[in-house]
Structure 1
Amino acid sequence: MKQRIITGVIGGAAFLTLIVVGDFPFTLLMIVLATIAMWELLRMKQIRSLSFGGIVGMIFMWILLIPEFIVSLDWIHLQRLELFLLLIVVLLALTVITKNAFTFDEAGFVILASVYVGLGFHYFMYARFLDNGLAMIFFIIVLVWSTDSGAYFAGRAFGKRKLWPEISPKKTIEGSIGGTGLAILIGSVYVMFIPIFTSWLTTALFMVVVSLTGQLGDLVESALKRHYAVKDSGHVLPGHGGILDRFDSLIFVMPIIYLLGFF
């Protein structure tokens, strides 16, 4: 527990500081975290990072992740999504060329993992660099952390009905409701001092969406770990597991709220 607290305080302080600093230091942090998260996913699948599949997976993820101001693709006259789709076709062709030494299953995993990690951290950066990006990022973090805390304490105090025992045996429906309730409560206090949206209805909808999709993101990672029979995604953060264990909710939330037009 002591190690967990120390890691949480130091890591959390460093993370929040770099969010405030923004610019290149924050971008570099996102690239490092995404690279570690991708490595953790490849490790779950038992794909070595320096293998063909591992290198391709990293390249796919970086294509989706890295902002245009760092690496421009103007010289090949392709948008990032177009290049990504082209590489998917090439990757699938390689399953034939290699006579299934690189399997269709591995190709599918690499594609899905790169989208999961790459877009998740990409839209984290995207949100930070909006005009109200700092306030928006902290609002999202407050909602996700409040949901986690509320779900934990409500689950321990009132939890009786299992939410999804096949995926995460300890999570309960009461905990989920408590998590969303605390997120709305603390989020409402936050926007009283730092308004994000002009409409209260939009604010309320945003809080509910972030809380619920954050919980779904946590379940997605739990399903991955259960499928591949691992306890934690990694051991980068002593007492906390891996990067995916800490950022599973956030990187799942970001693309969804972007697609729903909240940014």
Structure 2
Amino acid sequence: MKQRIITAIIAGIPLIFLVIIGGIPFTVLSMLLSLVAASELLKMKNIRHFSPLGMIGFLLTFIIVMPEQWYTQIFPFFESKSDGLLLALLLLLVLTVLTKNRISFNEISFVLMSALYVGFGFYFFYLTRAIENGLPLFFFVLFNIWATDSGAYFIGRAFGKRKLWPEISPKKTIEGAIGGIVSAVILSIIFQFVYPLFSIPYVIVIAIIIAVFGQLGDLVESALKRHYGVKDSGNILPGHGGILDRFDSLIFVLPVLHLFNLI
């Protein structure tokens, strides 16, 4: 626990500072985080980073996560992101032929899904900060995720009896999940009084959605790790694991909120 707290402080302060600054520094941070998360996924599948498959995976992630206005400057020979994505997909398919099926649809599907997962997740990471009223909105979502995680952990430890989904995450409990939702609602109401964003009923609804989908995002990553037999996605954050371990909820929630125009 002590190591987790120390790491959270050391990593959390620069993150909050860059969130406040926003703009290019925060966008660059988001892109770097997406590439680190992509590398963690490649490692789970035992795909070498500098192999043709790994490099195309990084390229796909880079194309997806970057701002549209940067894209035509970096890749002037493409008209839109879809052109770059199509090229990367074709290269992946060609690899199955060039390697005589040593690289199969299984591997290229994993690389494609990994790039979409972290690429879009971190794309909406900086996009949330960039929209109107983005700073308080980003903190609203971030604090809700933290409240959900903390509430689920402490309520689960104190009162947890019934397992939430033991095949995926044996330690999570139904009581903890409910505690996470309640914690997010309480935090959201407090946040609303400090910095009003929506009406109280809407704040409560958004808090519940963030808490539910945040925990679902955590379970998605847990399922992935369990399938590939790893405890953590990485070790870059002592006590927390990897980038994907720390941001799994946030990069799942933010696309949902944008997809349904909730923020």
Give the TM-score taking structure 1 as reference length. 0.94
- Distance (Å, rounded) in 1 between the aligned partners of 2:164 and 2:139: 28
User: Which residues of 2 match residues 24-39 of structure 1 at below 5 A?
Assistant: 24-39=24-39
2:235 is the alignment partner of 1:242: no
Aligned to 2:218: 218
Summarize deviations over 1:145-190 as a string: whole Å, max 9, x none: 0000110111111111110000000001111011001100111110
Equivalent residues of 1:167, 1:219 under 8 A apart: yes
Equivalent residues of 1:53, 1:107 under 8 A apart: yes
2:161 is the alignment partner of 1:138: no
2:133 is the alignment partner of 1:126: no
What is the CA distance between 1:127 and its match in structure 2? 0.4
- Distance (Å, rounded) in 1 between the aligned partners of 2:154 and 2:21: 33
- Distance (Å, rounded) in 2 between the aligned partners of 1:21 and 1:150: 29
Summarize deviations over 1:75-121 as a string: whole Å, max 9, x none: 34532135324532442243234321221111000000000000000
The alignment-based identity, stated in percent, is 50
What is the CA distance between 1:240 and its match in structure 2? 1.5
2:187 is the alignment partner of 1:186: yes
- Distance (Å, rounded) in 2 between the aligned partners of 1:247 and 1:182: 19
Q: In angstroms, what is the RMSD of aligned CA positions?
A: 1.6
Give the TM-score taking structure 2 as reference length. 0.94
Summarize deviations over 1:197-218 as a string: whole Å, max 9, x none: 3x44432221111110000010
Deviating more after overlay: 111-120 vs 92-101: 92-101
- Distance (Å, rounded) in 2 between the aligned partners of 1:77 and 1:42: 27
Aligned to 1:207: 207
Inter-CA distance 203–82: structure 2 relative to 1 (3 Å threshold): farther
Aligned to 1:147: 148
Aligned residues: 262
What is the CA distance between 1:194 and its match in structure 2? 1.1
Inter-CA distance 29–195: structure 2 relative to 1 (3 Å threshold): same
Equivalent residues of 1:37, 1:244 under 8 A apart: yes
Equivalent residues of 2:68, 2:81 under 8 A apart: no
Secondary structure of the corresponding residue to residue 164 of structure 2: strand
Aligned to 2:58: 58
Aligned to 1:196: 197
Secondary structure of the corresponding residue to residue 170 of structure 1: strand
Equivalent residues of 1:64, 1:81 under 8 A apart: no
- Distance (Å, rounded) in 2 between the aligned partners of 1:151 and 1:202: 22
Aligned to 1:113: 114
Secondary structure of the corresponding residue to residue 69 of structure 2: coil
* 1:113 counterpart letter in structure 2: S
- Distance (Å, rounded) in 2 between the aligned partners of 1:77 and 1:103: 28
* 2:203 counterpart letter in structure 1: T
The gaps in structure 2 that reach 5 residues or longer are none
